[in-house]
Amino acid sequence: MRKTSGWGLGVLKALYAGISGLGRQTVDGVWRIGFATRFFFAILLHSGTAMSRFGLTIREIYFSGVLSLIIIVVSGLFVGMVLGLQGYETLQTYGSEEALGILVALSLVRELGPVVAALLFASRAGSAITAEIGLMKATEQLTAMEMMAVDPIARVVAPRFWAGVISMPLLAAMFSAVGIFGGYLVGVVLIGVDQGSFWSQMQAAVDFNQDIMNGIIKSMVFGVAVTAIALFEGYDAPPTAEGVSGATTRTVVTSSLAILALDFMLTAFMFRGVK
């Protein structure tokens, strides 16, 4: 009898702990979303310094954008080359290998350019931003700035945000351009697809507003998402080695998922009914 009541008590305790844990996680989650939203609006509100002292933003464009160029260019080249190979294999089945230029260009400009460049940007620059801000917090640099009557959101966070937003479309454009060149190398130079058909069909089929502008809009949205997530995770990171490492991981995971989810939504709106 005693054993049964002890067992029952144990189950009740476990149930109580489970429910209270769930409640705590929910409250924490909602609080975090609220904090992230306030943080995002604070960045927008305190963007004056990033604009009026544009040198601060340019410096961050160098760190986020220019230093990401190598990984973007190399990846873009290989992705383009693979597209050239795979595309040729498929198109030649239908005897339309001249359309290789269209396939490579549209795949890159509409999808792979913005998406893969954003994924690479999240891994290369996003993680660096989170680690830097997290360590600045852990070593009291942000508090020191506050104590010197300088707002860290305006001085540190906002320039990095705008640098990310500006860099992302440029990197995506670079990715697509190099990717098209990679497709050309494999399709035209290596396999021998007709050069004239490759370029002229691409020129005729790629629409500036429908394809290129939509690709730019996508990459700007990804730039906002990745940079905002990276900055928030760094700013919110617990000031310990473990805290910063966890925040860096969360930046890459959350940004990647956000990019893919946003891509689906944007594609659904942008290319509805496009032939």
Partner 1 sequence: MIHDALVQIENVSFGYSARPVLKGIDLIAKRGQVVAIMGSSGCGKTTLLRLIGGELRPDQGTVRVADEVVSELDQAGLYRLRRKMGMLFQFGALFTDMSVFDNVAFQLREHTDLPEDIIRDLVLMKLNAVGLRGAAYLMPSELSGGMARRVALARAIALDPMLIMYDEPFAGLDPISLGVTGNLIRRLTDTLGLTSLVVTHDVQESLKIVDYVYFVSEGVVEAQGTAAEIRSSGLPYVHQFVHGEPDGPVPFHYPAQAYAEDLRLGVGSA
Supply the minimum distance, in Å, between the C-beta of residue 66 and partner 1: 16
Q: How far is the CB of 9 from partner 1 (least distance, A)?
A: 24
Q: Contact between 150 and partner 1 (CB under 8 A)?
A: yes
Q: Does 268 bind partner 1 (CB under 8 A)?
A: no
What burial letters (b/e) apply to 41-51, b meaning 16+ CB within 10 Å?
ebbeebbebbe
- Taken in order 55, 60, 62, 66, the sign of the CA dihedral is negative
Which of 77, 155, 185, 270 lies at the binding interface for partner 1 (CB under 8 A)?
A: 155
Rounded distance, CA 162 to CA 47, Å? 8
Residue type for position 106: L
Q: Should residue 144 be labelled a site residue for partner 1 when binding is judged by CB under 8 A? A: yes
Binding residues for partner 1, rule CB under 8 A, total 15
Nearer to partner 1, 90 or 143 (CB): 143
93: Cα separation from own chain's centroid: 36
Q: Which of 139, 200, 203, 249 binds partner 1 (CB under 8 A)?
A: 139
Interaction residues for partner 1, span 88-117 (CB under 8 A): none
Query: Phi and psi (nearest 5°) for 29?
Result: -60, -45
CA dihedral sign, ordered 87, 258, 269, 174: negative
Q: Which residues in 39-98 contact partner 1 (CB under 8 A)?
A: none
Contact residues toward partner 1 (CB under 8 A) are 135-136, 139-141, 143-151, 155
